[in-house]
A = this chain, B = another copy of it.
Amino acid sequence: MTDGTAPRRRGRPARTAAAQGPDTRARILDAARTEFAERGYDKTTMRGIARAACVDAALVHHYFGTKDDVFAAAIEVSFEPALALTAILQETGAGGDALAGIGERMAAHFIGVWEDPVSRTPLLAIVRSALTNEAAAAVLRGFVLRRLLERLAAELDVPDPRLRAELAAAQMIGIAVLRYVIEVEPLASADPQEIVRLVAPTLQNYFTAAPPPA
């Protein structure tokens, strides 16, 4: 159990032995993302992930613990492009103000992530799983809260920064649902730059504007 290698077991086939090594974890994670994306949370099993990664199921437990833990790790990898928003927040906009134009940069970043099928497919799988399974929703809730929205909210100088960050996230998730899942026209075929142009003021308002009088 040391050095990231798995325990040896008697009588295991050669492919299991060959599977051990520093990138076994990465291969299991790849297999897990594919399984969750194709089958959804409910129908994905630890055994199925192990089979897809050509390793013993005990190795999946060794590296990740429970199915929820593998799902959380898969979410984390799938959200990596989205997490680049921290870098975006640290860029400076016009006049050296980090929040100048942040709405447009953020909208462009998110639409870019969703436009790329490589990042879109696992994100859609996560959204679908979380909408239909409470365990998956709990994992996403914990992850989204802990990593994505808290980081964003920490950069904002407005009242209710977390609530505003979530309303911005809600705008982008809703667009993803209508454009890529339900495929409602004209949104489904709209030019990505046109969407960015229309959505940028919405995000900018959540991130920087003082709230209107109550």
Task: List residues of A whose CB falls within 8 A of some B CB.
Answer: 40, 127-128, 130-132, 137, 140-141, 144-145, 149, 160, 162-164, 166-167, 169-175, 177-179, 181-187, 190, 194-195, 197-202, 205-206, 209, 211-212, 214
Contacts and interface: CB of A to CB of B under 8 A. Distances in A.
A198 B144 contact: no
A200 B184 CA distance: 23
A187 B174 contact: no
Contact of A166 (B169, B186, B197, B200): B186
Nearest to A200: B212
Contacts of A184: 141, 144-145, 149, 166
Contact of A160 (B131, B175, B185, B198): B198
Contacts of A128: 131-132
A197 to B, nearest CB: 6
A131 B177 contact: yes
A214 B206 CA distance: 21
A168 to B, nearest CB: 9
Nearest 6 Cβ contacts at the A-B interface: A174-B174, A170-B174, A173-B174, A166-B187, A170-B175, A202-B202
Nearest to A179: B170
Contacts of A140: 182
B182 A178 contact: no
A166 to B, nearest CB: 4
6 contacts: A128-B131, A137-B181, A160-B186, A163-B195, A167-B195, A174-B177
A44 to B, nearest CB: 14
B182 A162 contact: no
